[in-house]
Structure 1
Amino acid sequence: MASSSPVKHAWRVLLGLLIAIGVLFGLNALGVYGFGKSSWTPQLALDLQGGTQIILSAQTADGKDPNAEQLTQASQIIRQRVDASGVGESDITTEGGRNIVVQIAGKADEATRNRIQASAKMELRSVLAATSPATSFVGDDGKSTPYPTPAPGLASTPSPSPTDGSDMSWVTPKLQAEFLSYDCKTKRDAAKQPADQPLIACDSSGQAKYLLGPVELDGTSIKDAAAGLNQQNGQWEVNLTFDGKGTDAFGKVSQRLYAFTQQNQTPRNQFAFVLDGSVISAPSMNGVILDGRPSISGSFTQETAKSLADQLKFGALPLSFTVQSSDTISATLGSQQLQIGLLAGLIGLGLVAIYSLLSYRALGFVIIASIAVMAVITYALICILGWRMGFRLSLAGVAGLIVSIGFTADSFIVYFERIRDELRDGKSITGAVEDGWSRAKRTIYISKSINILAAVVLYILADATVKGFAFTLGLTTIIDVLIFVVFTHPVMQILARTRFFGNGHPLSGMDPEALGAVYRGRSEYREVVTSSQGKAARASRSRGEAERRQTIAERKRAEALAEASKGASRNGEND
């Protein structure tokens, strides 16, 4: 029973892996046939598939060309909108002093075009409630429980009618439930949020969640925003200037919010600046401001103060865009380069297979099977990520997949060499598999953790064109470790107990007599010790030790005889 237990465990692990693969393909099938948004082939990026190029021309109120800072800020906003729409591997650049060129993989629909060319939407709203971004709470049983989604019968109409933007009547039972269950990872189209209704929004870092009242002012009321040093305390702050209409409106709002400050009603004394549906600042009101020149203070550095000022100033600009041209562009690399990349991958895979079979004989088929299972899982995940996250496979991503073949084979080589080392030391094949696993997994875990760290750093710091390589490299490294644990080792546990591998057939790759001598150092070698020879040697050593064992009386008698023999020898010499 003890000998069959590892085999049963191995079969259970392999069955679980098979079920997991089935679940992955089932999820993708749901996306293909249920939602109609997924595909059985990976989504290709702009360099491989081609797509749509939209050239936007900036229009200012005075007809002058926008400056470089304004165009840079506008391109960043457009990039955020494109990313929020789920379009991956886009390319956004400025051109000619007033144009922004947007290149999107595939065909851009009308909603995407409208989202791209809409001007930045800056809103100023009162804060009704604020909390952490958590979507769950700890119940009486000590377990985390998600907040329920709003029930269909919850009231959604304010009662009584709100009198201003800070009136808590805006918070209906339905809105309260939506606020608690709202996930900050959800991307909402700011253009679809009514200005005369409350808004649920998060800050740009996703660390705070806000329930905001209707729009009190829009960004067009901000004439200017600049970072500067406070002359009294020497701290960095952001100074705003409103126009005439904005000065009157903000003065009334400041009176209302400052009253909440005096009553210690936090966060109702806060005022949120919302840019494209994201809260970029929510300062408290520390006084009544009637001159239209408020300032935002806090733990600012020069860089963070300037960044906030740029967001407020450029978000407030009436920058609108007209579509100068919209064309379908061909792939920069095309299908030929993709075919060359795939051919390179097949050649690399073939070389790995040949090397594995020549070096490890039948064990090479385990390496080939492991790579095949890894390829199946990777393919399914790339298809699902294209549906759920907008991931598109670029040529850099293909390169990451090709490189992963060598990294994957390296893990198995380390494992098999550890097994062979154990066989050379005279262990049985089943024992060598288990001990080799214990020794190899530590090395492999350390190696793969370094690979993942490198992929993460590369993804964060590298240019957008290299992110595809870093992403696929990190993804395949994680899958590599998974395959090593739930496929390669269980298969070896099963094979080690078969007649072909367990008896060390010469073609199995685990024949102890065919492994050769092992170098010990200083030109000394240790000859191969088979399992039977190792047992015989240990038995011989045990018999020798048993023969040398003596009782205390026998040892004292032997010592006395030795002394007597020495004395007789000395007497003979004297004579």
Structure 2
Amino acid sequence: MARPTSRHSRPGRTLLVLLALILAMGGTMLLQKAYTPKLGLDLAGGTTVTLSPVTLNNASPPEEILDRAVNIIRDRVNGTGISDAEVAKSGDNIIISIPGVGQNEAIKLVATTAELRFRQVLAAEATQVPQELATNAPSPSASPSATGASPTPSGKQSSAKPTATQSAGAPKPTTSPTGKALSSALTAPTPSASGSPQPSATPSAEGKKQESKKGQDAKSTPTASPSAQASTPPAQDPNAGINTEGIDPAVLAQYNKLNCADPKNRGQGVQDDPNKQYAACQDDGSFKYVLDVAKVVGTDIDTASAGIPQGRSEWSVQLDFKSKGAGAWGDLTTKAYNAQPPRNQVAVVLDGVVITAPNIISPIPGGRAEITGNFTQASATQLAEQLKYGALPLKFNRSSVDTVSSTLGQDQLRGGLIAGLIGLVLVVLYCLLYYRGLGIVAVLSLVVATIITYTSVVVLGHNANFRLSLPHIIGLVVSIGITADSFIVYFERIRDEMKEGRRSLRAAVEVAWVRARRTILIADAVMFIAAIVLYFLAVGGVAGFAFAMGLTTLIDIVVVFLFTKPFIALLAKMKFFAKGHPLSGLDAERMSETGTAARTTTPQEA
């Protein structure tokens, strides 16, 4: 077999690339003012949340449903980043351990049911809300999918919400040419003079005389005048103006008694039965609704994402339905489109509260929908993540929220760091005693690997929520051996080339690299594949160990290719190494003692 030939290399440029990489990562740390890594639950403490399932009949939930809830919560937690959070099942309860103190957002994310219902509106009424709420919190607009609904002449989706003047006793709103729901105040006919006589606002002179003439009789006779009788309105039917067709009487009675102005009555977190009609409030308390059974539920959603649609400035949440959900969504929007207001609205209900109730102005058979409503980037992203990672099949109550101390973890960390330091010192001593001058390259390679590893952990912590825990520490300590193994393979190959090929050091460095890098890449590839498989099949601390091992394997490749090899190429130009000084580790006497042994220990490299 033909022997590899040496190639002209430019070690200076390669080292500059490595320097640029280190400076870029260091600059990122400075710009973000992140100088220390984030710590995991066992090192920095955190919060443990115990969730207890709640079922409609108070029975124990089926095992498969509880397992599905565990998987969904785990996906949600991992969706926030590499946080090293743990989700475990204990009996019928689910225990979630979240690193850090005061993780209210994460607790809210994993504990909410996020069960989305799409229900047709059967009745709607504006409620009295506090003045500051009405002025400071404008009612959100809502629209179906831009691909399924046609816009109004102004280019925006028409609002389906009743106006503030609508009441239960008011006439049913009519639909304007643009599809907007108008209140009775805008559509009522102008009163005519031919109806029943109305009292004049300015009495005439003759009327005044008659009124004064009858004053004495009015004092002696306690008979109410017509105007006095008109001031006492007759009792109104609470269902006046409401199309009660198809509405469950019990739900209608609940709707009439519902006071959405009081936040306690809005039903936040209520587990509504999707197979029954439901009386619900708007999330800001401005409207109350009678809602039909849910035709589409959260499990029918395929994906959800947050963003700003092109040509608009407000944040929204886009939904894509599964094949079954797409058909049900098309049927629901078609039914609402053919109905009269307010039944041409479809309410989006999340955890028992109406987020928005869009006016369907055309059927939407495409299986896509869009939720808008004065979202901020944070609220839109949070809702999209809740829906993206699935709707929990159960409602959970937080039975306990405890703070976890890091005392035990700190003691273990101290012991782990001491063990890692002892191992590092032993590796350095071995390299200096056995390889002498080349041992300096090994020590500097470990230093460069440490710098890249530290900066990577810090940057990942502040950008991907990576938290350093004890399993990660173990993986990083193991990486010392991975890095040391790589440059040992290279050193031994250089010695073999110089002994057998009678080459100069500069030529041996290049020829040995061609064969050594193959062995290094194969070994690192096997290690990286093992880390990937372990990461996706394991959970908790084992997955953390696998992530650290995979990260350090990639760093080892970077160090060997961008530092070890080019640095040795530079040292080969120095007389100290080129002439084989006894302290260089490349002297003739040492190579004659180790050449044969080195050759027989790595036969697969030939």
**Normalised by the shorter chain, which TM-score bucket?**
0.5 to 0.7
* TM-score normalised per structure 2: 0.56
In structure 2, the CA distance between the partners of 1:357 and 1:205, relative to structure 1 (3 Å rule), is: farther
Give distance in 2, aligned partners of 1:278 and 1:343: 41
1:119 paired with 2:136, answer no
In structure 2, the CA distance between the partners of 1:519 and 1:91, relative to structure 1 (3 Å rule), is: closer
Task: Quote the offset at 1:430 in angstroms.
Answer: 1.1
SS at match of 1:103: strand
Give distance in 2, aligned partners of 1:420 and 1:519: 7
Aligned to 1:107: 101
Higher relative contact order (CA 8 A, sep 6+): 2
Task: Quote the offset at 1:119 in angstroms.
Answer: 2.2
Aligned to 1:47: 42
Q: Deviations over 1:91-112 (max 9, x none)?
A: 2233342x33221111133333
Name which of 335, 355, 360 aligns with 1:252. 335
In structure 2, the CA distance between the partners of 1:433 and 1:214, relative to structure 1 (3 Å rule), is: closer
The question of whether the paired residues in 2 share the 8 Å contact of 1:43 and 1:393 is answered with yes
Q: For structure 1, which segment, 397-406 or 461-470, has the greater mean C-alpha deviation from structure 2 after superposition?
A: 461-470
Task: Quote the offset at 1:493 in angstroms.
Answer: 1.1
SS at match of 2:592: coil
Task: Quote the offset at 1:489 in angstroms.
Answer: 1.1
In structure 2, the CA distance between the partners of 1:92 and 1:393, relative to structure 1 (3 Å rule), is: same
1:509 paired with 2:505, answer no
Give distance in 1, aligned partners of 2:580 and 2:363: 75
Q: Deviations over 1:254-310 (max 9, x none)?
A: 989xxxxxxxx99843266999637989xxxxxxxxxxxxxxxxxxxxxxxxxx9xx
Note the residue ranges of structure 1 that are not aligned, 5 or more in a row.
Answer: 33-38, 131-154, 171-192, 197-201, 220-236, 257-264, 282-307, 522-575
Name which of 261, 264, 270 aligns with 2:367. 270
Note the residue ranges of structure 2 that are not aligned, 5 or more in a row.
Answer: 1-6, 119-142, 162-177, 180-281, 287-299, 310-314, 340-361, 372-381, 598-606
Read off the aligned partner of 1:487 and give its amino acid letter.
F
Give distance in 1, aligned partners of 2:114 and 2:470: 33
Task: Quote the offset at 1:160 in angstroms.
Answer: 5.0
Read off the aligned partner of 1:107 and give its amino acid letter.
V
- 5 Å-filtered alignment, 1:451-530, equals 451-516=527-592
Read off the aligned partner of 1:73 and give its amino acid letter.
R
Aligned to 1:12: 13
- Overall identity of the aligned pairs, in %: 38
Aligned to 1:162: 158
In structure 2, the CA distance between the partners of 1:241 and 1:398, relative to structure 1 (3 Å rule), is: same
* TM-score normalised per structure 1: 0.59
Give distance in 1, aligned partners of 2:39 and 2:387: 34
Give distance in 2, aligned partners of 1:216 and 1:123: 15
- 5 Å-filtered alignment, 1:113-512, equals 113-124=107-118, 127-129=145-147, 159=155, 161-162=157-158, 252=335, 268-270=365-367, 277=384, 315=393, 319=395, 321-331=396-406, 333-425=408-500, 426-512=502-588
The question of whether the paired residues in 1 share the 8 Å contact of 2:42 and 2:406 is answered with yes
Aligned to 1:95: 90
In structure 2, the CA distance between the partners of 1:209 and 1:519, relative to structure 1 (3 Å rule), is: same
Task: Quote the offset at 1:469 in angstroms.
Answer: 1.2
Name which of 66, 74, 84 aligns with 2:69. 74
The question of whether the paired residues in 2 share the 8 Å contact of 1:54 and 1:327 is answered with yes
Give distance in 1, aligned partners of 2:530 and 2:549: 9
Task: Quote the offset at 1:14 in angstroms.
Answer: 1.5
The Cα RMSD (Å) is: 4.8
Q: For structure 1, which segment, 88-97 or 425-434, has the greater mean C-alpha deviation from structure 2 after superposition?
A: 88-97
Q: Deviations over 1:477-515 (max 9, x none)?
A: 111111111111111111111121111101101113431
Give distance in 2, aligned partners of 1:352 and 1:84: 39
More helix by share: 1
The question of whether the paired residues in 2 share the 8 Å contact of 1:74 and 1:120 is answered with no
Give distance in 2, aligned partners of 1:416 and 1:381: 27
Aligned to 1:184: none
In structure 2, the CA distance between the partners of 1:424 and 1:252, relative to structure 1 (3 Å rule), is: same
Give distance in 2, aligned partners of 1:12 and 1:482: 15
